Structure 1
Amino acid sequence: MQPRKADPAAPRFSGSYSPDDVQFLIKPARIALTAVAAKEDAIQSGRLHYSEMLSPEQVPDARYLELYDAALARNAGRLRADIELLADRIVDRVGADPTLVSLARAGTPIGVLLHRELRRRGRDSAHYSISIIRDRGIDEAALDTIRAERDPASVVFVDGWTGKGAIRDELDASLAHVPDFAPVLAVVADPAGVADIAATHEDYLIPSGILNGIVSGLISRTVLSSRYVGPGDYHACLYLSEHEGADRSIAFIEAIETAAPIPGVGTVGDPATVAARARATVDRIMTDHGVADRNRVKPGIAESTRAILRRMPDRLFLAAGDDPDLAHLRHLAIERGLRIDAMPDNSPYRSITVIRKVSE
């Protein structure tokens, strides 16, 4: 990509958020949609990378949205407390006036919450949301813009949670040759044990994690294809205008901000121990169930939920017990005729989805 010079007068894209909440350094484009089965076949056969295609997004059914609302009511206070804790730790790490760079799109709602929290404290916070794509890297055109406007030493990359740690690895690899940006990663929940800053290592239900675009500013997953991204362009996305009537992006932010914080419920252990448990869990599922491709295993409540909503799932592993944080996954499993298996012992994850093998 060619370096991009920032133009302060240029309009910034904010999706369905206020421009004060976030600046998406992502290019809205008219992107042709690919059916889920065709996309899965193209990915698993190696004909196309997942970032070159988008499938249509559907608004969940009424029952699923009821379960989302219940999760929001149940966990809003916890997330509010975790945002306050993360804000403290981010300031301790990079200084009084952080630059938040959320990783689209799961990181964006968390970045908005952190940005508002820091502004309430009188910090000169800025919040950008940019694209990072597994195996393809971070959007360096977006980094050029941030560099022109903020001190790279103040940057913290924000995501909602960790799954297997693939984005952690991608961030490290991408920034290895961009020395002015340090790969400091902050997340709410870090069951993979790979983040630099985390509120908890517990795999708990972050309500925004169980919806897609309608809680993330009405943008799609990001796309990197020469059909839509030219030299010097940001990575692309589709603005989901057809779902404007169902959008819950701002309602989610307001629900968290008006909740009474419930502190002290998070757990942070030794990251190396957590990471070892996470790897062992994924390895065991791959070995026991004949999964050769690690990319087909999607661990964690949010990651496994999104895999069911966007991909072609084969089976679902859930922690034992009648856990209300897993009620939406049971609903999806029944709806899709998906087999539910017991989670392996000593797993840091409460849910794992395995993607169906559709191509040799």
Structure 2
Amino acid sequence: MTTEMHQTWQEPRLADPKPLGSYAPADAVFLLKDLSDVNLERGTEEREEAIQTGTHYSEMLPQEYQPTAEYVDLFQRTLADSAEKVALAAGVVSELILSKRGRQTVLVSLARAGTPVGVLIKRYILHKYNLDLPHYSISIIRGKGIDTNALKYILQKHGVDQQIQFIDGWTGKGAIRNVLIQSCREFNEQYGTALQDDLAVLADPAGSSDTYGTREDFLIPSACLNSTVSGLMSRTVLRDDLIGEDDFHGSKFYRHWLDQDLSNTFVDQVSRYFPAVAQQAELRAQELLEHPEPANWQGIEDIRWIQQEYQIHDINLIKPGVGETTRVLLRRVPWKILIDREDNPNLRHILLLARERQAQIEVCPQLTYSCCGIIKPREEHG
């Protein structure tokens, strides 16, 4: 690295972030600008119209879904049923990260679905190895890229030779992985760094990650909710009139929902299973290291079939997998929900939400994924 390059990413020194979110600072540090006082929320129909007519989704926020008592109860039951399975997947990913990256790794989760997973990975490594790795949550936006100021801050804080491991919750089409690949390449070219674009996830149904806990498209309970399971943070925002040259990408901290927050409930309940799953996680990770199953992007075949079958011209309207289908139902205008089978236990919350949103449900047993949400194309409105 040349001195000129070295100075480029080190100057100017970026200010330390202000505390945000409902996680303990020891669990997660959000590298985000607080936009809590800005009116950014738009109604679902208004936002959908704007997105499909050219406004970038990161310039506004959806109105946060306030779950019914029935839905919160379903979340609690789902968490009780799956906490051990989530703990095992988190353990496998943690073991792989340590083996691949080493003990000087900085955990960098992608806000916001990646944040709870980053907390779990940090806690597992602390429990199993008594190793307290730093964990930051930063923004990445499809069509705009990763927050380069956040990356610069991490490099300034920890040194350019530190290994960075990017973390997300799950893969859908693998779109964010593609954004990460491009963003890392551009950052490395510009600043002479050597960031690796590997994205660690709990579940990789898309087959687009080399570091994963499972490729099963199962329900990670944190996908059931929005801010109330992600540290009370909104989706991230990038708008020229709000985010300056030296600012991090923005987000809102929904402090007024502290009494409804389940963020720590989720990570606490899953973390309790770490002692029980640690040995199995280590063995499974060793198997994956000795007999790797590289990314094969198998999910793209589903996408092509759905595009052709339902005449969907914009691939961004197709959201495959349990996590992405949940997002469609919580904050977009759903048209059809495709499921592999009606008795799939991973889909109870999907079916509940689909009935609430009056989305059409179709059974497609040939799906690679458990389910897929299709956003209503604009020409179908009315």
TM-score tier by shorter-chain length is over 0.9
- TM (normalized to structure 1)? 0.93
Change (3 A) 1:203 1:232: same
Residue number in structure 2 paired with 1:139: 147
Q: Aligned match of 2:24 in 10, 13, 18?
A: 18
> Residue 159 of structure 1 aligns to which amino acid in structure 2?
D
Q: CA deviation at 1:226?
A: 1.3
The answer to whether 1:65 aligns with 2:72 is: yes
Residue number in structure 2 paired with 1:210: 224
Residue number in structure 2 paired with 1:150: 158
> Residue 226 of structure 1 aligns to which amino acid in structure 2?
D
Q: CA deviation at 1:110?
A: 0.4
> Residue 193 of structure 1 aligns to which amino acid in structure 2?
G
Change (3 A) 1:133 1:75: same
Change (3 A) 1:213 1:336: same
Residue number in structure 2 paired with 1:185: 199
Q: Aligned match of 1:43 in 51, 55, 59?
A: 51
Q: Aligned match of 2:180 in 171, 180, 193?
A: 171
CA contact (8 A) 2:341 2:365 kept: no
Change (3 A) 1:81 1:226: same
Task: State the SS of the aligned residue for 2:196.
Answer: coil
* 5+ long unaligned stretches in structure 2: 1-7
- TM (normalized to structure 2)? 0.88
Q: CA deviation at 1:272?
A: 4.7
CA contact (8 A) 2:174 2:206 kept: yes
Residue number in structure 2 paired with 1:234: 248
Change (3 A) 1:124 1:246: closer
RMSD across aligned C-alpha pairs, in angstroms?
2.1
The answer to whether 1:199 aligns with 2:207 is: no
Change (3 A) 1:140 1:272: closer
* Structure 1 Cα separation of the partners of residues 369 and 264 of structure 2: 29
The alignment-based identity, stated in percent, is 38
The answer to whether 1:130 aligns with 2:138 is: yes
Task: State the SS of the aligned residue for 2:186.
Answer: coil
Change (3 A) 1:40 1:301: same
CA contact (8 A) 1:175 1:183 kept: yes
* Structure 1 Cα separation of the partners of residues 363 and 91 of structure 2: 34
> Residue 15 of structure 1 aligns to which amino acid in structure 2?
G
Q: CA deviation at 1:111?
A: 0.3
Residue number in structure 1 paired with 2:368: 348
Map 1:69-148 to 2 at 5 A.
69-120=76-127, 121-148=129-156
Task: State the SS of the aligned residue for 2:213.
Answer: strand
Task: State the SS of the aligned residue for 2:246.
Answer: coil
> Residue 37 of structure 1 aligns to which amino acid in structure 2?
E
Higher helix share: 2
Residue number in structure 1 paired with 2:5: none
**For structure 1, which segment, 319-328 or 302-311, has the greater mean C-alpha deviation from structure 2 after superposition?**
319-328
> Residue 71 of structure 2 aligns to which amino acid in structure 1?
Y
1:196-252 deviations in Å (ceiling 9; x for gaps): 310111101111111110000000000000121111100001111232211001111
> Residue 359 of structure 2 aligns to which amino acid in structure 1?
L
* 5+ long unaligned stretches in structure 1: none
Q: CA deviation at 1:56?
A: 1.4
Figure out how many residues of one structure are paired with residues of the other and give that number.
354
Q: CA deviation at 1:4?
A: 5.0
* Structure 2 Cα separation of the partners of residues 4 and 298 of structure 1: 39
* Structure 2 Cα separation of the partners of residues 11 and 194 of structure 1: 32
CA contact (8 A) 2:65 2:331 kept: no
